[in-house]
Structure formats: structure tokens, C-alpha cells
Amino acid sequence: GQNIDQPTEMTATEGAIVQINCTYQTSGFNGLFWYQQHAGEAPTFLSYNVLDGLEEKGRFSSFLSRSKGYSYLLLKELQMKDSASYLCAPSTPGNMLTFGGGTRLMVKP
């Protein structure tokens, strides 16, 4: 079966750095996606990791350790608009995504 664990809520200050951790257990693994979802909207793609290591994309970076079943999303220079839910989604063969409950990030001034 699939199991995804990430914190339910986090709070951070505008301009700061925040790291959102995710651990997962899946039957088969084909990479891990991070999505951002604002309230009432559909998810938007942020990043994809299939190999171990760090992928950097502007203010957002994502890290993967396949052996540990662990990933994190790092957000730098936080802005108020970054307040959203962040979804960790491992991909299994057949490109099926499994979503956990997501982490609701609140950025405060």
C-alpha cells in the first residue's frame, strides 16, 4: 500500500526559509512530485525528483533520498503568496500519483 507522511501545518515569516518534509512508502517508485495548491484551486506542479539529490528551481528546491523514502521542499525568501498547501506525491509505475493530506503553510508578515 501507499503511505505518505508530512506535517499538517507550518507557519513561517515573510522573507524566511522553510523546509517541508515528507516521508513515503510506496509499492514501486517512479519519482516524487511536489505540488502547490491554493485554497479552492487545483494543484500546480512545482518540482520532480527521480534521482537522489537536490533539484533547484528559483526560490524552490526539492531533495530526494530514495533509500530513506524521504523528500523535502525548501522555500526561500518566503512571500505572502506562498501561503498554500504543499502536496508531496510519489509516483508509482503507470505514473499514478498518491497524495497525502498536504502541508498547509501560513506565511506571516
Q: Contact between 95 and other proteins (CB under 8 A)?
A: yes
Q: Measured between alpha carbons, how far is 32 from 50 in angstroms, rounded to an integer?
A: 6
Q: Contact between 29 and other proteins (CB under 8 A)?
A: no
Dihedral sign, Cα of residue 63, residue 64, residue 65, residue 70: positive
Q: Measured between alpha carbons, how far is 104 from 56 in angstroms, rounded to an integer?
A: 22
Point out which span in 11-19, 37-45, 56-64, 70-78 binds other proteins (CB under 8 A). 37-45
Q: Contact between 99 and other proteins (CB under 8 A)?
A: yes
Site string for other proteins, 51-90 (x = CB under 8 A): ------------------------------------x---
Q: Measured between alpha carbons, how far is 54 from 49 in angstroms, rounded to an integer?
A: 8
Closest alpha carbon to 82 in 101, 103, 53, 55:
103
Point out which span in 11-19, 20-28, 42-50, 69-77 binds other proteins (CB under 8 A). 42-50
Residues near other proteins (CB under 8 A) are 30-31, 33, 35, 40-45, 48, 50, 87, 94-102
